[in-house]
Structure formats: structure tokens, C-alpha cells
Amino acid sequence: EVQLVESGGGVVQPGGSLRLSCAASGFTFSSYDMNWVRQAPGKGLEWISYVSSSGTDIFYADSVRGRFTISRDNAKSSLYLQMNSLKAEDTALYYCARDDGWDGYWGQGTLVTVSS
Amino acid sequence: DIQMTQSPSSVSASVGDRVTITCRASENINVWLAWYQQKPGKAPEVLIYAASDLQNGVPSRFSGSGSGTHFTLTITNVQPEDFATYYCQQSNSFPRTFGQGTKLEI
């Protein structure tokens, strides 16, 4: 069974940093591209970053480029999102998702709240 | 960036109705479109990928069609468990973009 479990969310002040993790199991993690998608409270879905299976190809949404860094450790079957210079508008539930050409599997999300 | 425009933003239906949701892309995305269902407090789940392919385990009352810039999600014989929010997403190019969502209400 495919499982994706996010962690690392919490409350952080504006300008602060957080590192999100996504632990994958039930499939060969190193064979799949991965995405981070977020959802602000009461709002729609926003794709924010992609990393290829090998880690060599990376893309970001304009809203996070230069502040967020996606990475992965295939030996640990884990995906990461380093978030720096956080803003109030980054407050959201952050999901990791397996890229099957579409987001075929999603975790349950980890909540990030940016507030003073 | 490719803009995805869903309509309507909300739709009211009764059990047994047929519902159609439309998604338009601002440029040609071939068939690189997926539809997701999201229930309150839950992660989204893919229903349809490649515009018209039904994800394993998804009831056959869900169907997708379209190519290029115009796509539809149709739910025939709406069931109580179908009341949720639906999103389209293009995966033709980065940044991947979602539609704004359509809430299916009783």
C-alpha cells in the first residue's frame, strides 16, 4: 500500500524557517517524481514544487521560488521542503504527492502557520 | 503560465442527477489533465487522469472528456458520497496549475 506521511509543520513567525518531510513507503520511491502542493485555509489547491526521481530536475511556483528548496533522499525514501523567509500567505496545509504524470497519491498533509 | 478556469464554482444537485463540470485551459494542453475530488478535512484523490482515463477503484459514474483546451467531468447518477469539491489540474507544463474548484452541493 502506497503511503505518504508528511511532518514538520508548526507555528513560525514571519521571516522564520521550517523544514517539511514526507516519508514514503509501499513503492519504489527512487523511481518516482514527487510534488509539493499546498492549500491555504478555505482555499483551493496550489502546486508549489516538483523534483524528478533522480533529483536533477526541479521546478517551483513563482510564489515560493528563491525562498523554498525541494530535495529528496532516495536512500531514505524521503522528500523534503526547506522553507525560508516565511510569510503570512504561506500559511497552509502542505501535501506531498507522488507524480504519476498526475498526482496519483497524496499524504494527509502537515499544517504550517505563519503568525507573530 | 497556463491558466485553468473551472465552471461553475458551485453546483447544486440531487441524488440521481447528472452533473457536468467544465475546465478550460488558456493554451493547448493536449490530454494532460486530471480531475480530483476533495472531501472536507481530507486530501484530494485523483478520479480521472489523461483527460478521460478512470483511476483504479473510481466508480464508473465518473467520466472525463476533452482535449486541447476544453475538458469536462461528468458525474451520472450522483450519489450522496459525491458531494465534495472537484479540481482540474494540467500537467502539460510547469508550473502545474489547478482550477479554482467546483463545490458540488445538495
Q: Per residue of chain B (106 residues), give pLDDT as tens.
A: 999 999 999 999 999 999 999 999 999 999 999 999 999 999 999 999 999 999 999 999 999 999 999 999 999 999 999 999 999 999 999 999 999 999 999 7
CA angle, residues B96, B98, B104, in degrees to nearest 5: 160
The model's confidence at residue A101, banded by pLDDT at 50, 70 and 90, is confident
Which tens digits make up the pLDDT trace of A74-97? Answer: 999 999 999 999 999 999 999 999
pLDDT, residue B46, reads 96
Length, in residues, of chain A: 116
- State how far residue B5 is from chain A, nearest Cα, in angstroms: 13
Which tens digits make up the pLDDT trace of A13-61? Answer: 999 999 999 999 999 999 999 999 999 999 999 999 999 999 999 999 9
CB interface of B with A, residues 3-62, below 8 Å: 32, 34, 36, 38, 42-46, 49-50, 55
